[in-house]
Amino acid sequence: MMNPFQHHQQQQQQQFLNDLDSIENWKRVQTLGSGTFATITLWVNKETDEKLALKQSYMDVQRFSKKEITYYNERWQQEIKLMKKLNCENVVKALELPKEFEQLSINNGIPILAMQYCSGGDLRKVLNESGNCCGLSEKEVREILKQIGSAINCLHNLNIVHRDLKPENIVLQPLPNDRILYKLTDLGFAKQLSETTSANSFVGTFAYSAPELFLTTPYTSSVDNWSFGVIAFEIVTGRRPFLPNHPVIEVLDAIRRKKPDDICTEIDDMGGNFYYSKEIPPINHIGNTFKSDLEQWLKMVLQFDPEKRGGRMAYKEIEKITNKKIIEIFSICSYETFTLEINEKTQLRELKEKIFSYSNIIPSNQYLFYQNGDKLSERIGQQIIQTWYQPRSWFERYNPIIINLFDYSKPVSYQEFYKFLCLPNRVEKMLMNVNGIDDGNGDDYDDLKLTWRNSVFVARQTVKKYRFIHNTLKSCLLNSLQKFNQLQNENSHLFNQLNQLFSLINFSEKLLWKNYQQNPEDGGAIDDYDDQDIRPILIKLKNLHEWRHQITEHFDQNQRIIPKFNKELFLFQDFFQSPEIDPELWSKYDDIQKAYDMLRKMKKIDYKESAFSNNNLMVKLLCDIFRLVEKLMKQMFSVLSILIEFLRNIRNQRENCQRIRMEFRQKEEFENDLEEFLFSHVIHRRQNRYHENSTSSTESSEMINDVDRITTESHQNPEQPEKNFIWEEFFEKFQKENLEWKSKSFDFGSLEFKDLFR
């Protein structure tokens, strides 16, 4: 072991990577990170474009004792050993050090660690973005917890405790299709323990360290469970759970006094005192199902007693939570979103009952459709999972999938969206100060930052609700087109069926009329069959004509339900090509983020003299974004209300189609009766009469074929005989209605029922 003087001499001779521009084919691009004990630099191969992150240990002998230098050198050697041992997708891999750097490592006497380069930066960088000040989206949170949970579980299976879990040690590797691979890095504080041993040295970062690390008591891998729980809470809410930014002693005291089910502290806006909570604060961007699951999980991993933090079961539980199949329901009427868990056995009826418990819309009045306009299958769980959640990459992209909801029984109209926002007390108080006079919050820099932080949350909600309405309008347009096409097909099929029936009716009436014309003096040979036979037939024919009149009304109504839009106000093609978020809206949201970002980066002593000394600027920015969103939403709702009314009308018309089809089946029974009557009482009797009275075979044949000609010949008005029986009453009306029906043409493109002779 070298003494401090020898190490000092060696250090003076060392070449540090961050001081070099290139080594043979390798060029230094930038310094990725620099700390007390090491620096990390990015290098790229000029020939192959390969990129490497190289970590080099550095110890200033003038700052550290011999004992400390020895300890950190051993820690460095251990990190390299552990990194090379691991083979986990979510842990940064140690790579073979290129031969060009080997000599430098030998000359310095301290090895250089070559690692994968993750170009997305670290999680702290993501959390520091202004838009994420109140937490990340549910998709991001799910992926981080699932992937980093897998990495920690991998370490624990090898009896390795990381001991320094924090956002700075989670890096991002962008992948195709907007996917991100999250990786755990920096095993400098990692320690290998057997399942029955523990450690008692303090390492890690205070804000994320388990309480037992401060008490110099032995600890196990459960310290990682605590740190992981703190990270989980922070990525959901944007802050740490227990008295963030307070002195360590106060934080430890608050943790020690909390009850087992307490997962965070909250600050009372009025008195400034803190209280404990068993729930994740409402200022977040995750759904109710995921929130409820995480609350139960946090109650386990944030236990003061290390033995009750779930051990390795905690990581199996987080895997189970993040693998749940979730759908998000967006209610058009209330701008409300809520989430529900599904599986392959979930039925539409069951889903509607769950929706009723959240929305108070009874199942029969619920109209549901996907964002691509598709309708929901009765086996909705199977439909969603097989269509969108397989394969795995699709699950990560689409979970949760969004389903739009509106109430069939109520008209849809614009409502002031800001009434449905989750408005923190601080923001509500700020906006109520309508005269722009400072209410006192501006006197405290930290208080002002918190109010503006909550304002960013409100602005992000506003943009999200606009995006939901914008996408819902697109979905509604697609769904209307699909439903309209279905109505076209159903009407086409129905029209063809009706034509077959009415052709038979027309033929039958012509035959009966022909029979009457040839024998007017005896009532159309009415004596040949009983009155009780003919009267029911005539009455049913009359009922059929009345029914046909109702059907004509159905087809006429199809044309009237098609909505008319003012093309100057709304161009469908332009709307479908428009972005999810209006550019002007995005600009105003960006202004709010920039204002908050400038305030939090400003020194406390400088903010009083700036435009950020009170809430006036933020009030103006929020009011600007509210006014713009209200204007845009009113335009969209003017179209949305028409489309939803169109969907209601389509539903009614399709129900009419269904009713007419059911009635048609009943009429088919009469069709059989009519055919039997015609054959037995008219056609057969006429054939017999022709045979009895004919003088030649030619004449007989012509008389027999006369029945066939009836189906094609046009009706000619006969000389009107003296009114007799009820034949004229029926057939004059029947003939007129038959001609009216035959003059109709159905345009299936526009659902228009046209008169050909007008």
Domain ranges of the chain: 4-115, 123-322, 328-479, 485-612+630-755
Q: Which of 631-645, 694-708, 720-734 has the highest mean pLDDT?
A: 631-645
Of 171-180, 542-551, 637-646, 663-672, give the lowest mean pLDDT range: 663-672
Query: What pLDDT is attached to residue 748?
Result: 47
For 247, which DSSP code?
-
Q: How far apart are CA 75 and CA 77, in angstroms?
A: 5
Q: Does the pLDDT of residue 187 top 80, yes or no?
A: no
**Which residue, 619, 578, 612, is CA-closest to 595?**
612
CB neighbour class for 436 (10 Å; exposed up to 12, middle 13-18, buried from 19): exposed
Query: What pLDDT is attached to residue 300?
Result: 97
The dihedral region occupied by 723, where left means phi > 0, alpha psi between -120 and 50, and beta the remainder, is: beta
3-state SS of 320-357 is HHHCCEEEEEEECCCCEEEEEEECCCCCHHHHHHHHHH
Query: What pLDDT is attached to residue 680?
Result: 64
Structure tokens at 121: 């930066």
Query: What pLDDT is attached to residue 686?
Result: 53
Query: What pLDDT is attached to residue 213?
Result: 85
For 294, which DSSP code?
H
Give yes or no: 706 in active site. Answer: no
Of 196-200, 304-308, 596-600, give the lowest mean pLDDT range: 196-200
At residue 694, φ and ψ (nearest 5 deg) are -70, 145
Q: For residue 279, name the pLDDT band (cuts at 50, 70, 90).
A: very high
Query: What pLDDT is attached to residue 39?
Result: 85
- Which amino acid is it at 67? K
Q: Mean per-residue pLDDT for 357-371?
A: 93
The fold of 4-115 is Transferase(Phosphotransferase); domain 1 (1.10.510)
Q: Which of 7-16, 64-73, 513-522, 669-678 has the highest mean pLDDT?
A: 64-73
DSSP for 576-599 reads: HHS-SS-HHHHHHHHHHHHHHHHH
Q: Domain 328-479 class?
A: alpha beta
8-38 pLDDT, tens digit per residue, is: 444 445 667 878 888 989 999 998 887 767 7
Q: Mean per-residue pLDDT for 75-93?
A: 85
Query: What pLDDT is attached to residue 557?
Result: 81
Q: Does the pLDDT of residue 285 top 60, yes or no?
A: yes
At residue 497, φ and ψ (nearest 5 deg) are -65, -45
CB-side neighbour CA atoms (13 Å) of 400: 27
Query: What pLDDT is attached to residue 494?
Result: 84
Higher-scoring residue by pLDDT: 606, 405: 405
Query: What pLDDT is attached to residue 503?
Result: 76
Whether 502 contacts 548, CB under 8 Å: yes
Q: How far apart are CA 240 and CA 280, in angstroms?
A: 11
402 CB neighbour count, 10 Å cutoff: 17
Higher-scoring residue by pLDDT: 501, 625: 625
Q: How far apart are CA 157 and CA 402, in angstroms?
A: 37
Percent of the chain with pLDDT strictly greater than 70: 76
Helical axes 583-601 vs 616-677, angle rounded to 10°:
150
90-144 pLDDT, tens digit per residue, is: 999 888 889 888 878 777 667 888 999 999 999 999 999 999 999 999 999 999 9
Query: What pLDDT is attached to residue 204?
Result: 52
Pairing of strands 112-115, 22-23: unpaired
Q: Does the pLDDT of residue 697 top 70, yes or no?
A: no
Q: Does the pLDDT of residue 334 top 80, yes or no?
A: yes
Query: What pLDDT is attached to residue 721?
Result: 38
Q: Position of tokens 């009030």?
A: 619
Q: How far apart are CA 6 and CA 141, in angstroms?
A: 49
Q: Which of 7-16, 467-476, 702-711 has the highest mean pLDDT?
A: 467-476
Whether 260 contacts 232, CB under 8 Å: no
Query: What pLDDT is attached to residue 565?
Result: 65
Instruction: Give the bridge partners for 341, in sequence order.
Output: 326
525-548 pLDDT, tens digit per residue, is: 444 445 556 667 777 777 777 787
At residue 358, φ and ψ (nearest 5 deg) are -95, -40
Whether 92 contacts 54, CB under 8 Å: no
Higher-scoring residue by pLDDT: 736, 721: 736
Q: Which of 144-153, 439-448, 521-530, 634-643 has the highest mean pLDDT?
A: 144-153
Q: For residue 683, name the pLDDT band (cuts at 50, 70, 90).
A: low
Q: For residue 482, name the pLDDT band (cuts at 50, 70, 90).
A: confident
Sheet of strand 38-45: strand arrangement: 22-23, 26-34, 38-45, 51-57, 112-115, 94-95
Whether 328 contacts 287, CB under 8 Å: yes
Query: What pLDDT is attached to residue 742?
Result: 57
Higher-scoring residue by pLDDT: 588, 656: 588
Q: Which residue in the list 122, 164, 186, 582 is annotated as catalytic? A: 164
DSSP for 170-194 reads: EEEEE-STT-EEEEE---TT-EE--
Whether 514 contacts 705, CB under 8 Å: no
Q: Does the pLDDT of residue 633 top 80, yes or no?
A: yes
Q: Fold match between 123-322 and 328-479?
A: no
Q: For residue 237, name the pLDDT band (cuts at 50, 70, 90).
A: very high
pTM: 0.81
209-234 pLDDT, tens digit per residue, is: 999 988 777 888 999 999 999 999 99
Q: Position of tokens 């990170």?
A: 33
CB neighbour class for 751 (10 Å; exposed up to 12, middle 13-18, buried from 19): buried
CATH architecture of the domain covering 123-322: Orthogonal Bundle (1.10)
Query: What pLDDT is attached to residue 396?
Result: 78
Q: Which of 95-109, 381-395, 446-460 has the highest mean pLDDT?
A: 446-460
Query: What pLDDT is attached to residue 304?
Result: 95
Query: What pLDDT is attached to residue 368?
Result: 94
Query: What pLDDT is attached to residue 13?
Result: 55
**Mean per-residue pLDDT of the chain:** 80
